[in-house]
Amino acid sequence: MISESAGSVREAALKYLWMHNRSWVQTGEEGGPRVITGGDGVKVVDSEGRTWIDVNGGYNSVNVGYGRSEIACAAYDQMRRIAFYPVGTAIPPTVELCERLAGITPGTLSRVFPVSGGSEANETALKIARAHARRIGEPGRYKVISREGSYHGATGGVLWLGSSAVYRRQDFEPAYPGMVYAPQPNPYRCPLGGRTPSECAERCARAVEDLILFHGPETVLAFIGEPVAIPTGAAVPGDEYWPMIRDICSRYGVLLIDDEVICGFGRTGRWFGIEHWDVAPDIMTMSKGISSSYLPLGAAVVSREVADLFVGKDRSLAHVFTSAGHPVAAAAGLKNIDVIESEGLVQNAAEVGAYLKDQLEGMKADHPIIGDVRGLGLLAAVELVGDRKTKARLEDQDRVCERLSEKFEERGLLLRSSRGLIAMGPPLCITRAEVDEIVHAVDVSLWEVEGELGFPGNV
């Protein structure tokens, strides 16, 4: 039994806990891990009584904020009734959640396969897509187009979607077969030389069509993308991109999978990010904000046209997870959606997100290290550069980011800078006053690092 002291918890964590993407030796040398004991809204408290602003709300996932006792009570009440389901049965909160999701998702998305996380949701989407190809008599379709620099999960199949440098995959080779990569429509660094967001969007969308034609439409199963790309720092595509992708997929019989694991449930100022472009996918995946990470929950929501092909003898989907549709998680998810609706958090994300972006933009005049500020709703990012005019990357990028992360910590921000980016995704309940706290701390930290490392004056 671990004692209540922070030191004992920290020591036990270093001895037993395999933390995400970190070495326990490195963590220990840095004095961690930090032990968090409570939270409220956008702030958490550690074992030493210090308060922190969690600028990324967990993994961009604690959408309604910390300390929501109503979600805890909903989970507790359901657990007291019945905590799990016998095989072949349904439990009210799970069914109600599926109905609720069908009501807020676009187009004919209506058939829900509940899971317990984003990776599972995307794995489920791929399995549905592959099974769908057989249902329509086209088993030769197996290739999946994703975008360079994207991320769709860490399990065996979806690990190979996208090609984000953040996640090392050498340990897990060989790659899953049929993975094809399209350019990322990042207007600031357009891989195809587009000089405007529209030009970049059109070129990157046409590149997807070119890939389909090169590989042969009869071999291409699906296209998957996030409405706003997260690993590249909240890169918002030009308005032409998603409608063009929808048209291309429809023309060649390619399923469009919309990954809303981060962008969904109000994060971008709409219920789902794809709604900014009035596009309906064939499959939508979701997690994180569906329960604000109070319990593990996710889903793949499928259009009526796709789902109807799984009706009939020997046509059902051979797919199951033990915790898929867990009633306690579903109860938490339902209450979470209630909170988002009753407190107007989608609108708050739109309004306060615009304010956050404006405040970050306002720092550009004082900080030559800032090359770009971008984002949508409460997804925002600052890209740091060595030369704003040429967009040249920082020469000592890792060192600059490390120093900035240290400065953020000194000022009570749980926020890290890496790969030349400062990415933010706070809880949707954040206020303008809390935005001001964050921006002020980032502003002062930039001043100090620029001075310490000898950056030139204003540009």
Tokens of 141: 């379709």
CA distance to 394, 407, 446, per residue, from 399 (Å): 10, 12, 13
Strand order in the sheet with 43-46: 36-40, 43-46, 51-54, 413-414
Measure the CA–CA gap between 127 and 179, rounded to whole angstroms: 14
CATH architecture of 70-342: 3-Layer(aba) Sandwich (3.40)
CB-CB contact of 388 with 348 (8 Å):
no
Measure the CA–CA gap between 64 and 430, rounded to whole angstroms: 9
pLDDT for 29:
63
Residue 239 identity: D
- Alpha-helical (H) ranges within 301-431 are 304-307, 327-342, 345-361, 397-410
pTM of this structure: 0.94
Contacts of residues 43-48 at CB distance under 8 Å and 24 or more positions apart, as own/partner, are 44/414, 46/6, 47/5, 47/6, 47/9, 48/6
The partner residues of 300 in beta bridges, in order of sequence, read 113, 285
User: 């389901």: which residue's tokens?
Assistant: 85
Query: Domain residue spans in the chain?
Result: 34-64+344-452, 70-342
In this prediction, the residues of the chain whose per-residue pLDDT falls under 70 are: 1-6, 25, 27, 29, 32, 164-167, 456-459
- Other Cβ atoms within 10 Å of 400 Cβ, number: 22
Tokens of 324: 């898929």
Furthest C-alpha separation in the chain: 71
CB-CB contact of 64 with 339 (8 Å):
yes
pLDDT for 1:
40
Measure the CA–CA gap between 263 and 247, rounded to whole angstroms: 22
The full DSSP string for 398-419 is HHHHHHHHHHHHHTTEE--EET
pLDDT for 176:
85
Tokens of 167: 């996640």
User: 């550690």: which residue's tokens?
Assistant: 46
CB-CB contact of 266 with 428 (8 Å):
yes
The dihedral formed by the CA atoms of 275, 279, 283 and 289, expressed in degrees to the nearest 10: -10
Measure the CA–CA gap between 60 and 66, rounded to whole angstroms: 13
**CATH value of 34-64+344-452 in 1.10.760.10, 3.30.70.580, 3.90.1150.10, 1.10.8.420:** 3.90.1150.10
CA distance to 26, 106, 319, 444, 450, per residue, from 270 (Å): 39, 11, 31, 32, 36
pLDDT for 3:
46
pLDDT for 167:
67
Tokens of 183: 């350019």
